[in-house]
Structure 1
């Protein structure tokens, strides 16, 4: 699984090693306290801390009411059975996340002050069954509070 920034073109590899525990969540599934989790544990609506460039063993989730960097706003599963190559996966991920960003934030990524990032499967995670693309909106500078849904900024 790899993280790519749509506007900043920041690429971060996700190496899924190390021990992480799940995030504390309420009955609605919302994160209730900051925690370090495996990137595969991020769910739609979760908010995260900063993303590091390079290999990532875990990601920090943060309650969305607290200051955070990104919010997971859309998710899809790629339908092809054979790994189509990283270029094709990123093409599909970018197309999906760009369309969903417009719906979620209210503006196209190129017109927004917020950045679009996405997690997508790479060949090694594909072999393990990973087909998920997870889209994130936010700011590398942090300071986002609450949801970005409908902010149109």
Structure 2
């Protein structure tokens, strides 16, 4: 059975001001779920790392250089199978996503999933009308506990993945919060970076 895609919505970005101060504001683009969810996009798949046998010489050379071929190739993971702590390699725009590249956080990546939480159901188990703002609020509130500074004072940006109407019907309630640096690949975790 084919899994349906989750929504990747509303990038909330911080803008750096003169004198090194940063200010952020929530996105105004999240008010109309139908508008933001209309563009459906399948993230392009990159080659999935496959297990291969290495000769002892290749293994020693890899260990000596501190690199691993398997660690450098992202694994394509379905959006419903992502977890807090996963680092992502695909730049994702607003819309529906099925798969994203996941890589070890020690390798260059475009974002890191730093928090996850469930959205409260609306009446009769329906998806709440406030899901976009609830998702944004939850991600902003968890930001300082992960990065070390409040989101409003950070030079970093956030976005999130949330249930789509289809995944909601399949009992998906989870929001996954993503931290990233605009236009720059990050190496290592941003946890405790105080940026």
TM surpasses 0.5: yes
Out of 93, 99, 108, the position equivalent to 1:58 is 99
Could you state the TM-score of these two structures normalised by the residue count of structure 2? 0.63
Counterpart Cα distance in 2 of 1:107 and 1:14? 34
Q: CA-to-partner distance for each residue in 1:39-76, whole Å, 9 max, x for gaps? A: 11211100001323244332111110001111111101
Out of 79, 83, 87, the position equivalent to 1:43 is 83
Q: CA deviation at 1:151?
A: 0.6
Corresponding residue SS for 1:136: strand
Query: Which residue does the alignment assign to 1:28?
Result: none
Relative to structure 2, which stretch is displaced further, 2-11 or 91-100?
A: 2-11
Counterpart Cα distance in 1 of 2:102 and 2:149? 25
Q: Assess, with a 3 A threshold, how the Cα gap between structure 1 residues 150 and 3 changes in structure 2: closer, same or farther.
A: same
Counterpart Cα distance in 2 of 1:78 and 1:23? 33
Q: CA deviation at 1:121?
A: 1.0
Could you state the TM-score of these two structures normalised by the residue count of structure 1? 0.79
When the two chains are superposed, the root-mean-square deviation of aligned CA atoms in Å is 3.1
Alignment coverage as a number of residue pairs = 145
Out of 97, 121, 145, the position equivalent to 2:187 is 145
- Note if 1:127 corresponds to 2:169: yes
Corresponding residue SS for 2:184: coil
Asked if 1 retains the 8 angstrom alpha-carbon contact of 2:43 and 2:92, the reply is no
Normalized per residue, the structure richer in helix is 2
Query: Which residue does the alignment assign to 1:2?
Result: 7
Q: Assess, with a 3 A threshold, how the Cα gap between structure 1 residues 14 and 121 changes in structure 2: closer, same or farther.
A: farther
Counterpart Cα distance in 2 of 1:151 and 1:137? 11
Asked if 1 retains the 8 angstrom alpha-carbon contact of 2:45 and 2:100, the reply is no
Q: CA deviation at 1:124?
A: 1.9
